[in-house]
Amino acid sequence: MKITAIKTFMGVFGSRPRGLLKVETDEGIYGWGETYSIGPDLSIEPIADYIAKMIIGEDPRRIEYIMMKINQQYRFPPGGVGLAVSSAVDHALWDISGKAAGLPVYQLLGGTVRDRVRVYQGIGGADGKQVAESGQALNEKFGFTAFKTGPFQLDMNTNRWGRVCAAAADYFEDIRKHCPDNWEFAFDPHAKIFEPVRALQLANALAPFDPYFYEEPLRPEHTPAWAKLRAQMQIPLATGECLYTRFEFLDLMAAQAADIIQPDVCVCGGLLEMRKIAAIAEAHYVSVMPHNPMGPIATAVNVHFAASTPNFEILEYIVPGAEWRSWVDDPYMPKDGYLELRDRPGLGIDVNEEALVPGPLSEADKAKLPHWQRTCPVLPDGSTGYI
């Protein structure tokens, strides 16, 4: 079996375009992958074309060899955009390999260590009652008992930090007042805090109400700051969505700088790389809760990862809207707060190509895509802040 082509597509999930890849072979077996919208989204196609020139003619089942070849032929570290595209290629190669073998991908990874995959979803509200109402709706329909929300109830850039922390504590206390005691709530400051001591102050404010975890309060670049913060905290510290490859995660875990890691299978290098990251984490007694605010292909890849990974704990998930279902006929949907495993070859899903916009994109096609751009805030003094 040989790779014959890589095709790019743009799908729309929510208000954001999503880049999808289809890897085709000379035996008619194909595989699908999903990229993360690190941006610019229109960079996906030329990078995929560049990768295609490296791997057309290769056996798609030689995943380790192909991913090594891609990374070595980049020569310089590919960064987020390059890794997002090569991650999608990795997904497609696993999909092809499972289909060729007539097995689910999790069987190629050593089989299952669990029967289903627990998920959580991000929710919000102006107060604890509104959060409870959102959570109750998801619980009644899909069985969710774990959620994530943001801690900031006051503008952190225009209010005294002590007031920001106190308001976050009041918010969490109100959530606990209105929600069942067995529900888990995690908090994500979204890497907006610059000073580690302020991240600690916010963690201490939330701690009395038992957060599930405290996600990425700081930027990820300086590992010693994370190690010091974790040593002072009394609640689980999580990070990893902005880290790439096993080498960056090794530095984090060797410094004992996180209790939970959150690699993203659409940006860390793919499923093969995420398995290596998880193995390093297991040796450091660190749990894996993948970052996954993504579409149905990414969720499918994560299901197979979670099914076969001992130190996996829970998966981030977004209940799909109508547009999701238009381009995947049978996405993984939660039941009783879990995603059920499927005994289907490959990733267990297929894509409706007619619902996607294929590349290369014309100017008219580009104009039809929703405009989505990360925009940093402007602070009261005119400087910019973290998103």
* pLDDT tens per residue, range 272-315: 999 999 999 999 999 999 999 988 999 999 999 999 999 999 99
Report helix angle 161-178 to 196-206, nearest 10: 30
**Predicted pLDDT at 357:** 63
> Who wins on pLDDT, 67 or 322?
67
From the candidates 91, 178, 190, 304, which is the catalytic residue?
A: 190
**Is 190 designated active site?**
yes
Residue 4: phi and psi, rounded to 5, are -115, -25
Higher pLDDT, 42 or 251: 251
pLDDT of residue 123: 97
**Residue type present at position 282:** E
Instruction: Name the pTM for this structure.
Output: 0.94
Report percent pLDDT > 90 for the chain. 79
pLDDT per residue as tens digits for the range 338-380? 999 999 999 999 998 887 766 555 666 666 655 556 778 888 8
Q: How many residues does the chain have?
A: 387
Tokens at 283, concatenated: 């040796």
Residue 360: the pLDDT is 55
382: left (phi over 0), alpha (psi -120 to 50) or beta: left
Q: Note if 291 is an active site residue.
A: yes
Q: Give the pLDDT score at 76.
A: 84
pLDDT at residue number 384:
86
Q: Of 321, 364, 323, 327, which is closest to residue 34 (Cα–Cα)?
A: 327
Vertex 220: Cα angle to 280 and 119 (nearest 5): 60
Query: Comparing 175 with 379, which gets the higher pLDDT?
Result: 175
Closest by CA position to 276, among listed 109, 116, 72, 113? 109
- In this predicted structure, what is the pLDDT of residue 11? 64
Question: Residue 199: is its pLDDT beyond 80?
Answer: yes
Mean pLDDT calculated for residue range 204-219: 98
- Quick: pLDDT tens for 74-129: 888 888 889 999 999 999 999 999 999 999 999 999 999 999 999 999 999 999 99
CB-based contact 209:176 (threshold 8 Å): yes
**Which residue among 91, 178, 284, 291 is the active-site one?**
291
For 308-337, the pLDDT digits (tens) are: 999 999 999 999 877 776 788 889 999 999
- Note whether 145 and 338 are within 8 A (CB): no
| 144 vs 355, residue with greater confidence | 144
DSSP E strand boundaries for 111-210: 116-122, 146-149, 184-187
Percentage above 70 pLDDT, the chain: 92
Q: Report residue 237: phi and psi, to 5°.
A: -105, 130
Average pLDDT over residues 255-272: 97
| 141 CB neighbour count, 10 Å cutoff | 11
- Rounded CA-CA distance 25/312 in Å is 32
Q: What pLDDT score was predicted for residue 356?
A: 76
| pLDDT at residue 151 greater than cutoff 90 | yes
Which residue, 125, 146, 143, is CA-closest to 134?
125
pLDDT for the residue numbered 309: 98
Considering only residues 196 and 374, tell me which one the structure prediction assigns the higher pLDDT: 196
Predicted confidence band of residue 155 (pLDDT cuts 50, 70, 90): very high
For residues 181 and 355, give the distance between their C-alpha atoms in angstroms, rounded to a whole number.
42
pLDDT at position 185, please? 98
Is the pLDDT reported for residue 13 higher than 80?
no
More reliable by pLDDT, 231 or 324: 231
Q: What is the pLDDT of residue 367?
A: 63
3-state secondary structure at position 291 = coil
Q: Which domains, and CATH codes, for the chain? A: 3-103+352-368 (3.30.390.10), 107-340 (3.20.20.120)
